[in-house]
Amino acid sequence: MKNNRYEIEMLSAYLDGELSPKEKIYIEEKIKSSLELQRKLDELKKLKAITSEAKPDLTESYYFEARLMASLNSSESKSEKIKKWIPAFTFTSLAVALIFVLSLNPSFLMNIIEQQKGNLADFYKSNLKPLLYAANLTSEDIFNFALYEELPLDPSNSQTLKLSYDQTGKEFFEIRQNTEKKEQNNLQNFVAALELNESEQKQMDSLLKVYSEKISAQVLVSDKNAIAINPNIWNLRKAVLADILSFARKHGNENFQKIAPVGNIPSFDKNIVWLERVNTTSPKDFIICTPDTVFSAELNFDMAQLNSEMKKVAEEMKQVADEKKKRQLVFNFKIDSSLAGLKDKIKSDKNFKVFVHNNGVQIHLQEVNIPEVDLPNFDSIASIISEATRNFTVVSVGSPELPEVPETRNFVIKKEGTLNTSLRNREVNIDSVIEENNKRIEINNKKRQSSKRIYNDSSANEVKTMVDSLIIKQNEELRRQIEQLRKEIEKFRQDLQNLNNRQKIEEYEEIIKLLEEQIEI
């Protein structure tokens, strides 16, 4: 069988004419003598014939060479090779060029950045308006600013600027959405508490008016959502408070002592107008806060011209009775913000640390110099006054409303009768005020020891009282829980006495004792 298979395989090669002459002779002899091989050869011949005939007719391939040459050209063209290297070449040459330029002029990049900053600064500075006209600052706003360090940035009072000091005494300000509504009668209450007469009230009002103009020139806002703040505002704030208190002390006398029963109020000359000290040292660099960035830049404008413009507009506003027309009045003062003057004067952003929280933005000043002005620290008194004015408002709720009260400055006098009663009532709260005051002074003194700078401590106090009240609340809760536990133990003991098993009762008694000991602790 094996031989047979070998011969059949030879037959296949024989058919193909691939045998050596010897093999050929051998197989031909075998075929002659074997019918099976003859049959097999016949089969293979037929098979070979049909296989050869089955060769397909291939259709001609048109443009075969043309296509081939095209693809050879596209894959091998020199331009293709160059194209591959173009990006690498471009980047390398750019890098080399940049290195070359920087080696010649190291400040090249910085100049470009500064120029861009200049453009940005120009964009935001182009439309700045003094706050007085942007937010319609009233005497009440200025008074509140003196006490609470907070200024409204728009007429609807939805955004406010809050000045503060951090723990190290460094200034920072906050622009935040105003969610809580403040009592709006602080000034009125204050005036009432001092029992000022009409002319004194007018003096007070004009004092606040002057500050209103000064302050609004220190805080400029634009409709592009930018705000420019002069660092001098911190000093102005202290000055306005000092002047208010100085005025109050001068005219309020005993009443002032009642609402601010502070033993060691910093002594000062009653005739000093603090504003004059601050006014002389107003720096030209403003801190400009925009939605994108915070930077300090010089805003050059003539303060005198600004003031005269502001007065002019104020006059016009008085004449225009219609509220709608008031809003249409355009403030006609343009700040000199030519780009050329700006380029070198814009300070680095490193001067500020910005913290954004969900209700606004906090900007901490790092290297901005606020001019040093020798002003007394009235912040502790400010907190007392704010507390006191709050007390007045609580008490004066019961006063009957007078029917036809015109909207003028004089309305306070017409309320005189009711105000007097409120003044008498306010003594109810005086103890708490003194207590609070002592705490504040103590904390204030401690802080003064650690830092020579003047800063506000009212926020720290607020936090402290909050923490205190929280602890008291927690203690009450604990006491209540312990009481409940005691009751349960008593009940358990009664249940035990009904049981018969002595040993168990003793065990439980021990557990109860342990529990009671724990409660005592």
Q: Least distance from C-beta 32 to another protein, angstroms?
A: 21
Q: Give me the residues that bind another protein (CB under 8 A), please.
A: 8-9, 12-13, 16, 18, 43-44, 46-48, 50-56, 58, 61, 64-65, 67-69, 71-72, 75
DSSP for 178-220, please give it. Answer: --SPPPS-HHHHHHHHHT--HHHHHHHHHHHHHHHHHHHHHEE
Of 26 and 268, nearer to another protein (C-beta) is: 26
Helix axes of 21-33 and 35-53: crossing angle, nearest 10 degrees: 120
Q: Least distance from C-beta 86 to another protein, angstroms?
A: 24
Q: Which residue is listed with tokens 């700040």?
A: 335
Q: Least distance from C-beta 26 to another protein, angstroms?
A: 15
Q: Least distance from C-beta 100 to another protein, angstroms?
A: 41
> Which tokens hold the place of 412?
């306070």
Residues near 391 by Cβ (< 8 Å), separated by ≥ 6? Answer: 426, 429, 433
Tally of CA atoms within 13 A in the half-sphere of 444 that contains its CB: 21
Would you give the distance in Å from CA 484 to the centre of its chain? Answer: 46
Of 9 and 495, nearer to another protein (C-beta) is: 9
Distance CA 217, CA 203 (A): 22
Q: Least distance from C-beta 102 to another protein, angstroms?
A: 45
Distance CA 276, CA 307 (A): 16
> Which tokens hold the place of 302?
């003539």
Of 26 and 123, nearer to another protein (C-beta) is: 26
Of 10 and 288, nearer to another protein (C-beta) is: 10
Of 59 and 319, nearer to another protein (C-beta) is: 59
Of 4 and 359, nearer to another protein (C-beta) is: 4
Cβ atoms of residues 128 and 228 within 8 Å: yes
Q: Which amino acid is at 315?
A: E
Of 55 and 324, nearer to another protein (C-beta) is: 55
> Which tokens hold the place of 320?
């225009």
Cβ atoms of residues 139 and 203 within 8 Å: no
